[in-house]
Chain A
């Protein structure tokens, strides 16, 4: 197995003003190319964990490494940089900036990261083509590309968000309940697309959901309560 992409050990995070830590994780790791289903009820601390992994929050204690880089040791600006360079994020809903076009939304990471921009251009002659390839793979026709994101259906919006998370081939895609706004029949289709594209982009996938039903097909499944000794508080 390849060296871990994300690894954390003896990590603790307490929200300011809280008596007990929200997270207390002895060990957790995600390997390169790995697809992990992280199961957690709301309040289990998974959002906090995602913010830690994305470098928005910093743990009070413990080791948190991404691509061999200790995140807490970096400055806030460097963590922001690291996030856009190496992490693609998809949220539950409201992923898109409503007034930007579909294309502009997809290209947002390339606006802030030259690494993502360069990697997006490796397989396409320009950024528009790079975004177009991904959008086409995610069944979003060219007629939609110029539309403001707000005009798309929720399902279409989530696929645009997936394209954005994947553009410029970040090493890991973190998806936080990306299907919960979709109806059941669409959930599986979206999940299949996402997994297929992550494989194609050779990005690891950390898929977080409260819905056990979606775990099907993931080789590795982890439950928040198994890794978090604290049991969550926030």
Chain B
């Protein structure tokens, strides 16, 4: 077969324009396929690392997936909260290194408001153990301070010092406003690619303060406590939605989980965020699988184009094949020559496709990370991608057998004198 390589190459080079377009089509389809696979993996990794370093998420006993929706994605309305007393006790547990209380329920222009503590900015991690960073400003200190996620600030055009008012409930028309108690933007976080970007952060006590004169989801008629008076009230929260817990030793996580589940005073639940996020991904990941299937079809179209181009070129090459036959090429060689051509073109398409993707990732990764917080891997193709590439090459080779077989038949029929 070695003696056929130079021939196959020179013949292909001679038709480089038509074949080049075919290779480009294959390359683009391979780029799409690999790109979607890469995005799928990175999106999954990003999703599963929406929170990291947190060993347990604790909340009132409900479904683990729901608890993740509240605490990590800040979606949905918690029907049950856990008592502040339980949270205090847990935070003081000797195995617990740190804890972050989270309280949800209000919103600002559709973005969820998270009541939390200073520990949020110290201990909350995402991705590969990344801490939150401030793009501008600093953590909240006062009762009327708010810290915005990157997307909130960009989407609504806020800058430091701007006043914002919160709405009761998770947004939507006709929600009551906490218009009498405006907040001030004191910090804007750097993008993370996690739901943190979509959150407005205030202190737990602030959340209590804006609800002092409320009851049952509406302002109490006739009662209006002005902002400067609220400090006279006890602003200790009565309950929170969830508590993020970091342990001194990860080895204790299951023991701690059991202990929390058996908490005597309250029906509590502790969830391992990694496991719960994997389960959640299996639900939302269907879309990505569909995308992958579509890009596989695009590759199939690309390869079909390759076969069509090689086949249509065959008629013009009958004379060339007859010359080869007259000079010792066996029909088997002719078959190999054509199959080799298809295989080489597929390979060229693969290599070009991989390079294109690498180039795209190289140039786009900083931008994507800055705007969407999605970390695109520079890593060489992983096992899953290699398997995809193997499939493409295999299908390309198999498809190339067809022009090979056709040329074989033609060269047998033509002999030394092509009838063209």
**Residues of A that sit less than 8 Å from B by CB:** 47, 50-51, 54, 56-57, 76-77, 80-81, 83-85, 89, 91, 94-100, 104, 108-109, 111-113, 116, 164
Residue of A nearest to B329 (CB): A112
Question: Nearest Cβ in chain A — how far from B65, in angstroms?
Answer: 64
Contact of B326 among A77, A81, A91, A98 (CB under 8 A): A91
Residue of A nearest to B3 (CB): A111
Q: Mark B293-332, 1 if CB is under 8 A from A, else 0.
A: 0000000000000000000000000011001111111111
Residue of B nearest to A104 (CB): B10
Cα(A23)–Cα(B301), bound, Å: 49
Whether B352 is near chain A, meaning CB under 8 Å from some CB there, is: no
Question: Nearest Cβ in chain A — how far from B405, in angstroms?
Answer: 16
Q: Which residues of A contact B14 (CB under 8 A)?
A: 98-99
Cα(A62)–Cα(B7), bound, Å: 38
**B interface SS class:** helix
Cα(A89)–Cα(B415), bound, Å: 13
Contact of B333 among A85, A91, A96, A112 (CB under 8 A): A112
Evaluate whether A84 and B327 lie within 8 angstroms (CB atoms) in the complex, with A99-B14, A111-B7 already known: yes
Interface centre among B325, B327, B332 (most CB of A within 10 A): B327
Q: Are B328 and A56 in contact (CB under 8 A)?
A: no
**A interface SS class:** helix
Question: Nearest Cβ in chain A — how far from B411, in angstroms?
Answer: 10
Question: Nearest Cβ in chain A — how far from B420, in angstroms?
Answer: 10
Q: Which residues of A contact B331 (CB under 8 A)?
A: 76, 80
10 interchain pairs (CB within 8 A)? Answer: A51-B417, A56-B325, A56-B416, A77-B332, A80-B328, A83-B328, A97-B323, A99-B13, A111-B7, A116-B328
Question: Nearest Cβ in chain B — how far from A47, in angstroms?
Answer: 6
Contact of A89 among B11, B13, B330, B416 (CB under 8 A): B416
Cα(A113)–Cα(B333), bound, Å: 13
Residue of B nearest to A84 (CB): B328
Q: Which residues of B contact A112 (CB under 8 A)?
A: 3, 327-329, 333
Cα(A96)–Cα(B322), bound, Å: 10
Q: Which residues of A contact B13 (CB under 8 A)?
A: 99
**Residues of B that sit less than 8 Å from A by CB:** 3, 7, 10-11, 13-14, 319-320, 323-333, 415-417
Q: Are B10 and A56 in contact (CB under 8 A)?
A: no
Q: Which residues of A contact B10 (CB under 8 A)?
A: 99-100, 104
Q: Are A89 and B326 in contact (CB under 8 A)?
A: yes
Q: Are B328 and A113 in contact (CB under 8 A)?
A: yes
Q: Which residues of A contact B417 (CB under 8 A)?
A: 47, 51, 91
Q: Are B319 and A108 in contact (CB under 8 A)?
A: no
Cα(A208)–Cα(B10), bound, Å: 32
Cα(A53)–Cα(B328), bound, Å: 14
Q: Which 8 A-B pairs have the closest CB atoms?
A: A84-B328, A112-B328, A99-B14, A56-B415, A80-B330, A108-B327, A89-B326, A109-B327
Contact of B416 among A91, A108, A113, A116 (CB under 8 A): A91
Cα(A98)–Cα(B324), bound, Å: 12
Could you list 20 further interchain pairs (A-B, Cβ under 8 angstroms) beyond the known A84-B328, A97-B324, A108-B323?
A: A47-B417, A51-B417, A76-B330, A80-B328, A83-B328, A84-B327, A89-B326, A89-B416, A91-B416, A91-B417, A94-B319, A96-B323, A97-B11, A99-B10, A99-B14, A108-B328, A109-B328, A113-B328, A116-B328, A164-B327
Residue of A nearest to B327 (CB): A108
Q: Which residues of B contact A96 (CB under 8 A)?
A: 323
Contact of B320 among A51, A83, A97, A109 (CB under 8 A): A97
Question: Nearest Cβ in chain A — how far from B122, in angstroms?
Answer: 70
Cα(A99)–Cα(B19), bound, Å: 15
Q: Are B326 and A57 in contact (CB under 8 A)?
A: no
Q: Which residues of B contact A113 (CB under 8 A)?
A: 328
Q: Which residues of B contact A56 (CB under 8 A)?
A: 325, 415-416
Q: Are A54 and B323 in contact (CB under 8 A)?
A: no
Q: Are B415 and A51 in contact (CB under 8 A)?
A: yes
Cα(A141)–Cα(B235), bound, Å: 102
Cα(A99)–Cα(B316), bound, Å: 13
Cα(A232)–Cα(B87), bound, Å: 106
Q: Are B416 and A111 in contact (CB under 8 A)?
A: no
Residue of B nearest to A100 (CB): B10
Q: Which residues of A contact B333 (CB under 8 A)?
A: 112
Question: Nearest Cβ in chain A — how far from B67, in angstroms?
Answer: 69
Q: Which residues of A contact B330 (CB under 8 A)?
A: 76-77, 80-81
Contact of A54 among B11, B324, B416 (CB under 8 A): B416
Q: Which residues of A contact B332 (CB under 8 A)?
A: 77
Question: Nearest Cβ in chain B — how far from A152, in angstroms?
Answer: 15
Cα(A77)–Cα(B415), bound, Å: 13
Q: Which residues of B contact A100 (CB under 8 A)?
A: 10
Cα(A101)–Cα(B319), bound, Å: 17
Question: Nearest Cβ in chain A — how far from B19, in angstroms?
Answer: 13
Residue of A nearest to B317 (CB): A97
Interface centre among B319, B331, B332, B416 (most CB of A within 10 A): B416
Question: Nearest Cβ in chain A — how far from B265, in angstroms?
Answer: 86
Q: Which residues of B contact A76 (CB under 8 A)?
A: 330-331
Question: Nearest Cβ in chain A — how far from B324, in angstroms?
Answer: 7
Q: Are A108 and B11 in contact (CB under 8 A)?
A: no
Residue of A nearest to B333 (CB): A112
Cα(A94)–Cα(B332), bound, Å: 23
Cα(A76)–Cα(B319), bound, Å: 20
Interface centre among A89, A96, A164 (most CB of B within 10 A): A89
Question: Nearest Cβ in chain A — how far from B156, in angstroms?
Answer: 64
Cα(A81)–Cα(B417), bound, Å: 18
Cα(A109)–Cα(B325), bound, Å: 10
Residue of B nearest to A96 (CB): B323
Q: Which residues of A contact B11 (CB under 8 A)?
A: 97, 99
Q: Which residues of B contact A81 (CB under 8 A)?
A: 328, 330
Residue of A nearest to B320 (CB): A97
